[in-house]
Amino acid sequence: MKQFFKNNHLSIIILFGFLIRVLFYFFGGKVYYGKAEFSIGGDTTTWVTSIINLIEHGTYSVDLNEPTGYFFRPPGYSFFIGLFYLLSGKNILLAYKLIVWAQLLLDTASIYLIYKIVNRVFFNKIFSISAAILYTFYPFSIVWAPIIYAETTSVFFLLAGTWFFVNDKLKAHYFFSGLFIGIATLTRLQIIFFFPAALLAMLFHYRNSVYAFIKFALPFSFAFILSYGLWPVRNFVLHDTIMFSQDLSAVGCWDKDIMGFRDYIFSVKTDWDPQMTQIMKGEKAEWPKASFLIPEDSVKLNKVAQMCHDCGFGFNAFMKNAGYRNGYLPEDSSCSQEISILFNELTQNQKQYNQLNFYVWVPLSNLKKCLFKSGLYNPSSRLVNLFSTLLFGYRSILILIGFAGVLLYFQRNKKIPVLFNLILFYFIFSYLSLSFVYRNIEMRFLLPADILLLIPAAYFLSFLIEKYLLKRNLV
């Protein structure tokens, strides 16, 4: 059996990873998500609508009657959905089933990719196996695989781009890496931080030769611009708008009132609950102490909270989706513009009069949340709450082990591979930008950085295996 595993270890790991994902799809997902039809989430229909409008009407837009609908999301994942929509004969329900199975296979293929990435750079079987096993059992790749969201697909393209990045056997490997990273960015915008991280990693790697840096950075940058750049070029050429990212305002629940509230609440704290739920329920919102640093703001907060409940178009869309009202608020009854102005004034007051909290304490709290989030916001049961707490704890431990792996490698080796610098820079850029700038922390936005950090975590574990187990013939 030991010899059989030695000869077929990668195939066994990949098969096991696929079976785990299939079992979760059939049995675990309904428990974890608390509903039988868990594959379709709130964001799924926006990707679907955008690509169907392109196929049926010739325009990529989430809402053909809304000018900002052209820019709701970059098209990467919508095109992925569109492929299966066409293959299914435009039967969207069949397309959904095909997409889920495609993602289960893609996530299984990611096990192979992460193994090959490590093996290509380090030529160490224990290290490569450790990385593959960590990804095989990584809970947040498993739970996202059957969900029709961009996470699984974007991670696959990210790992494909990383594999080309380190595969110097191919002459044009940096070009193909930039191409795949551009596609990954069009699928999940947060992957854009790979681009500056890769350039900085190459600069460190080729720091003794400007010619070598330019030689490899140029094809990588050109390919990235060629793929990702199609999005801003399309926006400018077809719609006369400079747009590099996305504009969510075309969908009712992301109207001006919600965006203003979001900017304000993230200027004083890390989460928008309980205030969001209190407003939707018509209860008195309990604002944090930082909100009352300017005494006049208390009156303005009470006023704007009531307006949000009564005539905020975005808030009422959330209320309808949450079951707090029967229908959507008529657009001609909306006061979202006035709400947005009030929240913008409140946010500016925080920036001007509460700078330490705005620029330091809130971002640091965000960073703490990124590293040590302890569970789901609304678990479907006590069992799921306990399980999610364990999973997030496991995630935090792996992050710490990943950093330990980076430090250990830096300590034991004078020459640092470009891969480790890339992972470290990408992790730092992702976490700091989300914590200090974007501030709307969703763990799925951190999934690409977390998965790349599994590689140095695997290095640390393989070091322990080789030093303490193999030398003592314990494995």
> Mean pLDDT for each 10-residue chunk of the chain (475 residues)?
72 96 94 89 92 96 92 96 96 97 98 96 92 96 96 98 94 96 97 97 91 94 96 95 90 89 94 91 91 87 92 91 84 88 95 94 94 75 81 94 94 87 96 93 93 97 83 57
Three-state secondary-structure class, residue 328 = coil
Give the model's pLDDT for residue 201.
95
Cis peptide preceding 456, ω within 30 of 0: no
Task: Compute the distance between CA of residue 257 and CA of residue 263 in angstroms, rounded to an integer.
Answer: 10
Q: 3-class DSSP state for residue 225?
A: helix
Q: Supply the pLDDT for residue 377.
A: 66
Q: Which two tokens stand for residue 85?
A: 């929509």
Using the CB atoms, write b or e for 160-198: b if 16+ within 10 Å. bbbbbbbbeeeeebbbbbbbbbbbbbbbbbbbbbbbebb
What's the Cα-to-Cα distance from 227 to each of 146, 183, 220, 244, rounded to whole Å?
27, 6, 11, 13
**Residue 384: per-residue pLDDT:** 75
Nearest in space to 351 (alpha carbons), one of 439, 287, 264: 264
d(CA 313, CA 111): 44
Closest residue by Cα to residue 452 from 182, 193, 158, 195: 158
What is the rounded CA–CA span in Å between residue 466 and residue 427? 27
Long-range contacts of 317-323 (CB under 8 A, 24+ apart): 317/252, 317/253, 317/255, 318/253, 318/258, 318/276, 318/280, 319/280, 321/42, 321/253, 322/280
CA count, 13 A, side-chain hemisphere, 422: 24
